[in-house]
C-alpha cells in the first residue's frame, strides 16, 4: 500500500479544466493521494490554470507566492510539498514559470496528465524541476484510468470530455497553441464511460470539448449526431448536452438530432463572437453573420423551444462603432437566453495580438457595458417568458431553505421549489411561478400542467 498523502487542486477556467482536475486526482489516487481541503494540509498542490484571457499569468504567480510560504513552513516541519502548475498557462509559459518561481516542482501541459504519476515520482526523487508541456503523439485519453470522477456531488449531472484541442485558429485565441490539434476519443470508450456514469447515478451528461461538434472519433458514424444518438440509447440517461460548439461544425445531421432526440436539451451554447462580417473575417471565424443566423433559424425550426447562448468579444483590433453596432443587431435578432461577453485581450503569440488598430481600453469598456446591458435584458425577458410554463425539472438536491429542493430547467436555469426531498434524482413537472436574474421559482405539480 502506498503511504497516504494529501492532494489539493486549485482550478481556474472552463469545464474542461474542472474535468481535467478530477482526472489528475484519479491518476494520482493509486499513488496514495486523497483530497485535502486546504494547501496547508497537502503533500501536493496542483494549480490547474487558464490562459484564455488577461491577467491569467499574474494570477498564477500571485497564488504561487502564497504557496511558496506554505511550502517553506511545511518543509521546516519536515513535511515536503510537491508544487505543480498544470493547464494552459503551464503550456504557454512553462519556462517562464520555472524561471520566476523555481520552487515549482512540476510544470505540465494539458496533453501530458497521464504522465503525472511518473513526474511525481521524478519530482520526489530529484531536486530539479520537471517540465512536460509537449504534445505527445499518443493521446492522453489512451492512458487515463476510466472513472466517473467528473460527476458532481450527488452524481446526477456529469461532464464527459469527448474531444480536445482546436484547429480553427481564431485570431485572438490561445487554445490551438495550448491545447493542440483536435483529437477525438473513440465512441466505444465514451459510451462505456457514460454507462458507468449512469450506473453511478448520473441522469444528465454534458459532453465537453473545445470544439465539441468537431468530434470525429472512431465509431458512431464519426459524427456528434451519431454519438448523441448512441448515447440517447442508454437507459436511464434522460438528458444530454454538449459544449462548446463552432458554427462551422453545426452540420445538418446535428441540427436534425435536436428534432429527433428528446434527451437532447433545448439549449445550445454557440459562440459567434461578433455580428460584423468584417470582424468575423478578421477573427478568422470562417462564417458570416447571415450564416450564423441561418443556423439559429434551422435549429429553432428543428426544436422550437431551443434557447441560445453565446460568447462575444468587443474591441477586437480594427473594430469600429459600425462593427459593434452590427453585433448589437445580431443579438437583437437572435434573442439570447444567456451569454458570456469579454473585452478583447491581447494573448501573446496569437495573430491579433500584433495587429494594428488596437481599440482603446475606455472604448472597450463602453462597448462591453452596452453589450451586457442588452444581453442582461434579453436574459431577463427569457426567464420571464418561462413564468406560467410547465417544465420538466431534474431535481438535483436540497434547496437553500428548509423544505425546499433545487433542480435544473431544460434551459439550465436553477429552479427552486418547496417539495419533498424524496424527489431528488427525479425529473418532475414544475409550474414556473416567478423569474429572477439567474434562477426560477416553481411549484411542484402532481398533475402534469400548470393550473
Q: Give the interface with ligand 5AD as residue ranges (CB under 6 A).
A: 52-53, 172-173, 271, 273, 311, 313, 342, 344-345, 347
**Does the footprint of ligand SF4 cover residue 331 (CB under 6 A)?**
no
C-alpha cell, 270: 454557440
Q: Which helix (H) or strand (E) holds 291?
A: helix 289-302
Q: Where are the alpha helices (DSSP H) in 321-424?
A: 321-334, 361-385
Shortest Å, Cβ 191 to ligand SF4: 25
Please choose, out of 29-37, 86-94, 168-176, 436-444, the segment that lies near ligand SF4 by the rule CB under 6 A: 168-176
CA atoms of 291 and 277, how far apart (whole Å): 10
Neighbours of 262 (CB within 10 A): 12
Say if CB 76 and CB 69 are below 8 A apart.
no
DSSP 372: H
Cell 479544466 locates to 17
Cell 473585452 locates to 343
Of ligand SF4, ligand 5AD, none, which one does residue 39 interact with (CB within 5 to 8 Å by kind)?
A: none
Strand order in 338-343's β-sheet? 267-269, 307-314, 338-343
Write the DSSP assignment of 149-166 as a string of letters. Answer: TTBPTTSSEEEEE-EE--
Burial bucket for residue 47 (CB in 10 Å: 0-12, 13-18, 19+): buried
Shortest Å, Cβ 211 to ligand SF4: 6
Shortest Å, Cβ 210 to ligand 5AD: 9
**Does the footprint of ligand SF4 cover residue 383 (CB under 6 A)?**
no
Shortest Å, Cβ 76 to ligand 5AD: 41
Say if CB 312 and CB 369 are below 8 A apart.
no
Complex with ligand 5AD: residue 2 or 356, whichever CB lies closer: 356
Where b means 16+ CB within 10 Å and e means fewer, 394-424 reads: bbbeebeeeeebbbbbbbbbbbbbebeeeeb
Of ligand 5AD, ligand SF4, none, which one does residue 357 interact with (CB within 5 to 8 Å by kind)?
A: none
Complex with ligand SF4: residue 276 or 413, whichever CB lies closer: 276
Please choose, out of 9-17, 162-170, 257-265, 366-374, the segment that lies near ligand SF4 by the rule CB under 6 A: 162-170
Of ligand SF4, ligand 5AD, none, which one does residue 169 interact with (CB within 5 to 8 Å by kind)?
A: ligand SF4
**Does the footprint of ligand SF4 cover residue 169 (CB under 6 A)?**
yes
Q: What contacts 417, CB < 8 A, 6 or more positions away? A: 393, 399, 404, 405, 406, 407, 430, 441, 442, 443, 444
Q: What are phi and psi of 352, to 5 degrees?
A: -70, -25
Strand order in 44-49's β-sheet? 33-35, 5-11, 44-49, 82-86, 106-108, 130-132
Shortest Å, Cβ 59 to ligand SF4: 20
Complex with ligand 5AD: residue 317 or 442, whichever CB lies closer: 317
C-alpha cell, 450: 400548470
C-alpha cell, 169: 485558429
**Does the footprint of ligand SF4 cover residue 168 (CB under 6 A)?**
yes
Ranges within 175-194 binding ligand SF4 (CB under 6 A): 175-176
Residue nearest to ligand 5AD (CB): 311
Complex with ligand SF4: residue 351 or 397, whichever CB lies closer: 351
Query: Of 187, 172, 183, which is closest to residue 209 (Cα–Cα)?
Result: 183
Shortest Å, Cβ 16 to ligand 5AD: 10
**Does the footprint of ligand SF4 cover residue 51 (CB under 6 A)?**
no
Q: What are phi and psi of 313, to 5 degrees?
A: -120, 130
Say if CB 246 and CB 211 are below 8 A apart.
yes
Complex with ligand 5AD: residue 132 or 341, whichever CB lies closer: 341
- Count the residues of the shown chain that bind ligand SF4, applying the rule CB under 6 A: 10
Q: What x/- string results for residues 115 through 154 when contact with ligand SF4 is judged by CB under 6 A? A: ----------------------------------------
Shortest Å, Cβ 174 to ligand SF4: 7
Complex with ligand SF4: residue 205 or 270, whichever CB lies closer: 270
Say if CB 126 and CB 195 are below 8 A apart.
no
Of ligand 5AD, ligand SF4, none, which one does residue 53 interact with (CB within 5 to 8 Å by kind)?
A: ligand 5AD
Shortest Å, Cβ 311 to ligand SF4: 8
Complex with ligand SF4: residue 227 or 283, whichever CB lies closer: 283
Please choose, out of 173-181, 217-225, 301-309, 373-381, the segment that lies near ligand SF4 by the rule CB under 6 A: 173-181
Shortest Å, Cβ 362 to ligand 5AD: 17
Ranges within 189-218 binding ligand SF4 (CB under 6 A): 210-211
**Residue ranges that bind ligand SF4, judged by CB under 6 A:** 166, 168-170, 173, 175-176, 210-211, 246
Amino acid at each position: 500500500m502506498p503511504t497516504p498523502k494529501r492532494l489539493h487542486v486549485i482550478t481556474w477556467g472552463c469545464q474542461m479544466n474542472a474535468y481535467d482536475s478530477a482526472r489528475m486526482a484519479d491518476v494520482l489516487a493509486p499513488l496514495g493521494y486523497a483530497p485535502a481541503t486546504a494547501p496547508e494540509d497537502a503533500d501536493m498542490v496542483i494549480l490547474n490554470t487558464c490562459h484564455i484571457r488577461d491577467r491569467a499569468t499574474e494570477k498564477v504567480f500571485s497564488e504561487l507566492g502564497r504557496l511558496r510560504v506554505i511550502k517553506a513552513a511545511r518543509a521546516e516541519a519536515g513535511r515536503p510539498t510537491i508544487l505543480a502548475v498544470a493547464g494552459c498557462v503551464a503550456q504557454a509559459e512553462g519556462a517562464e514559470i520555472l524561471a520566476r518561481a523555481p520552487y515549482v516542482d512540476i510544470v505540465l501541459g494539458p496533453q501530458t496528465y497521464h504522465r503525472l504519476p511518473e513526474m511525481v515520482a521524478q519530482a520526489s526523487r530529484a531536486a530539479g524541476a520537471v517540465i512536460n508541456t509537449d504534445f505527445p503523439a499518443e493521446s492522453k485519453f489512451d492512458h487515463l484510468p476510466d472513472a466517473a470522477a467528473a460527476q458532481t456531488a450527488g452524481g446526477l449531472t456529469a461532464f464527459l470530455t469527448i474531444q480536445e484541442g482546436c484547429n480553427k485558429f481564431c485570431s485572438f485565441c490561445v487554445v490551438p497553441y495550448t491545447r493542440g490539434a483536435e483529437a477525438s476519443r473513440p465512441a466505444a470508450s465514451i459510451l462505456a464511460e457514460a454507462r458507468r456514469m449512469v450506473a453511478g447515478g448520473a441522469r444528465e451528461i454534458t459532453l465537453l470539448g473545445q470544439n465539441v461538434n468537431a468530434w470525429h472519433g472512431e465509431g458512431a458514424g464519426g459524427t456528434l449526431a451519431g454519438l448523441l444518438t448512441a448515447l440517447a440509447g442508454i437507459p436511464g440517461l434522460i438528458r444530454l448536452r454538449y459544449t462548446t460548439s463552432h458554427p462551422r461544425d453545426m452540420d445538418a445531421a446535428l441540427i436534425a438530432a435536436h428534432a429527433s432526440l428528446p434527451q437532447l436539451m433545448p439549449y445550445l451554447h454557440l459562440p459567434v463572437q461578433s455580428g460584423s462580417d468584417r470582424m468575423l473575417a478578421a477573427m478568422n471565424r470562417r462564417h458570416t453573420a447571415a450564416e450564423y443566423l441561418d443556423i439559429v433559424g434551422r435549429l429553432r425550426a428543428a426544436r422550437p423551444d431551443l434557447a441560445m447562448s453565446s460568447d462575444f468579444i468587443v474591441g477586437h483590433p480594427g473594430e469600429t462603432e459600425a462593427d459593434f453596432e452590427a453585433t448589437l443587431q445580431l443579438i437583437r435578432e437572435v434573442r439570447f437566453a444567456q451569454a458570456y461577453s469579454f473585452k478583447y485581450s491581447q494573448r501573446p503569440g496569437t495573430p491579433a495580438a500584433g495587429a494594428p488598430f488596437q481599440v482603446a481600453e475606455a472604448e472597450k469598456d463602453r462597448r462591453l457595458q452596452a453589450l451586457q446591458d442588452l444581453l442582461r435584458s434579453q436574459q431577463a425577458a427569457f426567464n420571464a417568458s418561462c413564468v406560467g410554463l410547465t417544465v420538466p425539472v431534474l431535481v438535483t438536491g436540497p434547496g437553500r431553505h428548509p423544505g425546499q429542493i433545487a433542480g435544473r430547467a431544460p434551459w439550465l436555469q436553477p429552479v427552486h421549489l418547496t417539495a419533498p426531498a424524496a424527489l431528488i434524482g427525479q425529473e418532475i413537472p414544475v409550474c414556473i411561478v416567478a423569474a429572477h436574474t439567474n434562477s426560477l421559482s416553481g411549484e411542484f405539480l402532481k398533475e402534469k400542467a400548470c393550473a
